Amino acid sequence: MPPPAEQSNSLPHWHIPNFVLRVEDLDHEGASIFLDNVKPKEALKLAVEASYAWLYTPLTAPRHVKTITLVLRSFDGIAYTFGTHVDKEIHLSLDYIARSTPRAKDEIEGVLVHEVVHCYQYNALDTCPGGLIEGIAGGDKWDKGYDTTAYFLNWIERRCGRGAVRRLNAFLKDRKYDTKIFLAVAGDPVDVLWNTYCQELKEQYEQKDLV
């Protein structure tokens, strides 16, 4: 998941779309939790800014998204995003919100950032594997939920330097998906990156066990 946008007067002037909120059941426990913990307009604006900063520079940021509609309703799962080139719609589960009470604010804002990224990321002319779309990674092995994909994404950014994910996203703009993009962006084939990441995690856990 992209890091939060920095709160600073030096932030670039990103294009902020119009936001629409639709709550389908105000009597649902999840609706009350959402409204008690989140300011919808502020949370969506921060999610857009974080997505821009994660994927683009002020010179490359797209301006095509005109409206993002957030729909809160009851359904199985967590959230999903769909829409046209200019109008996006994010559906967030009230049942999921109700289950996230202990960390409601962080959970909701984290999911919103994740879904807003989908509004702006490139998808290799509709040829990206599902795991790549979810984590801007490569292959289904990383499509294991918000946390796993976010950790691997952050690891690539730390390993290859700030802007690595931006470069990866840029490669997906006008060409079909090919695992060779990881070699171009990160300097290693995708399987090598994944294996290195898993090995580092294993070593970290082993060190903790020794303490």
Quote the pLDDT of residue 4. 55
Cα separations in angstroms, 131 against 27, 44, 75, 188: 35, 24, 22, 19
Does 64 score more than 90 pLDDT?
yes
Q: What residues contact residue 153 under an 8 Å CB cut-off, 6+ apart?
A: 1, 135, 136, 137, 165
Half-sphere exposure of 17 (CA within 13 A, CB side): 26
Entry pTM: 0.81
Q: What residues contact residue 50 under an 8 Å CB cut-off, 6+ apart?
A: 2, 3, 4, 5, 113, 116
Quote the pLDDT of residue 87. 98
Q: Give the integer Cα–Cα distance in Å for 12 and 46.
A: 13
Per-residue confidence band for 151, with pLDDT thresholds at 50, 70 and 90: confident
Does 20 score more than 60 pLDDT?
yes
Cα separations in angstroms, 155 against 17, 150, 171, 201: 30, 9, 19, 10
- Can you point out the beta strands (E) in the chain? 18-23, 67-73, 79-83, 87-93
Q: What residues contact residue 174 under an 8 Å CB cut-off, 6+ apart?
A: 125
Q: Which amino acid is at 65?
A: V
Quote the pLDDT of residue 114. 86
Kindly state the percentage of the chain with pLDDT values over 90. Answer: 52
